[in-house]
Structure 1
């Protein structure tokens, strides 16, 4: 099988314009008739939905901390058919990650090095000119595993500014492949966990078309395609992060529950499971012909009143849990709890299946990789299974039963620091703030 070429769009820091450039490039090349496949480096389930909208093809996550080389290779191999070009988007700064083994820090540079994809740097040049080349040169020399094939300038103030920036790049010999003028209207709407979800973004198609028009006019698309390099093959085809929790999986999926990794669902389907979506916001109960229920993360705090009033959903969920397993990740865990306090301080009754109460009014950021060891066997993991994932939410726990016998998992951070127990497991119901990415 021929593996497509690829490249990775990265930046020295967050907020440089990676998403704008990536989405515009993906859509512009797709409009040319190329079969573009989006890739997101790191644990981000929102950006991949935008990649899918821009390209018309499901996007994948590659995470060098949470995934083995074999898992990442397997995901790329499975996505290679019907793909002409991988266009990957980095996370944070190009080299930003955790302290870990070489090649497994979670940094975007790890993904570029493993896959053999050249890096295109997006540089926000607001406030400087020739010095931008020094930043690019540092990125090019910092890690000998990667190649910086060119740069795209962002926030260019004028043609004179563009020429002055270009003087520095002539000195270091790194090509400028494009330059975008300052335009605040190009940004996508955001909320507390990042971009507003693709499915909630007003006029998404029009926005993507405008991004594509802007990138096509400002960037040398032919040079970008020519800069891409063949994807390096890596031994191994491991793709499944955790075993299917059942044969027919009732999956909550709407604006409250949308944070689920596509590679998890693809792994379950590959193992023979069937995914059956339902909508709690539409007051739908888990389908009775399913043998397990999965409540993924999302934004239940924004819809707490509607969920509390969804009597068919809540009563159906409780009845389902009497005979079949139910699991909740992050937002799903909050809904499985007793109450959820919204941003206005209004407390809403939830499913009351797990002994936890949460609040979005008392916001506190929880962010980072987590390594979880399952305490009690669940439908998707035997006891003592180690799962790698992350935690990313602003909810605070206002009441919690700390009994270790009821814990879902024991957890450490990326550096092995003990974070105690996480979540709960009572009878057939389990949940925690932990998002699983892969097994370890």
Structure 2
């Protein structure tokens, strides 16, 4: 993998292993050379061996002497790497067939539901094209991006922001749990299926990217573990977290691609971004029900918009090894397989969630000490509307005090009383 290139515009040699790229007087150089090839001159960066008129294996190997910059993955490091551009970029026949079949299935599904749908829709003055745009009855537009081969995080972000600026909600579809688009924008993952199965209507389950909100009181009778004590003991607080359908209690029905086509266009399912709470990730993008998103925003008392600027994760941080430039041609090492395997990004475990502290004991008639956020969380955890909340006669904790199936004492107090 090459660690240096020639910049044909400035007529300078760039050392990718140096923090300043060997040119401290050019602070924007990194941004310029890592821009998408579609946004710059494809012949901006040249193989050093080719520039020096030495042996360059690129053209004989089906590639050009012109280069692009990517982030490698070697032994846990993320160095900048110069790779040769292919003379023509083509997806494999299987990828192309899968892509076409999925796109046509989305459009056909929308048509069956009476929704407007169009394939290959230009966005932002034809600078990019959405695979399919589905328009709901209220005018909500969802741009489906079928991405079955690698795409850089910057390209995902750029195209997503362009879609949003043009009134389109992006919805990226992947088939690989390591796809870099995961959690860079609203996404969904399906199985790696033969294109004929996709075209024939075989069930396509959304395996990742769609979640349900679960709220529970952390007490011994809860089926869920404590988020604060990492599963040991019960803290008495109220927890809220997002779970894939298979990990919900009880287990939820899986979401099919047809479900998401309809729900995303009607607004029944919406994207939400949950910032990381100390996990080392920038955050999680997911599709959820509109009701779940409204309840989450009420519980956490905030609305987090989708990021409009790239959010860098720990795994994205560039590593600079400060080495001498290797001027030989590395065209035969440009394969993605040279790098370490990309890590799994579609992680089924919970997001880290949100915890409200144990509700304070109340005095009869003193409702002012319970905040609206705490009241909303208690309502969700206890499964009752806010007006059925009240105080336990014994410990004065919030409980389901009124309405059907209510009681005067909470479960803990009842257990104590029954044991006497």
TM-score (norm 2): 0.22
Structure of higher CA gyration radius: 2
TM-score (norm 1): 0.21
Higher fraction of helix: 1
Higher fraction of strand: 1
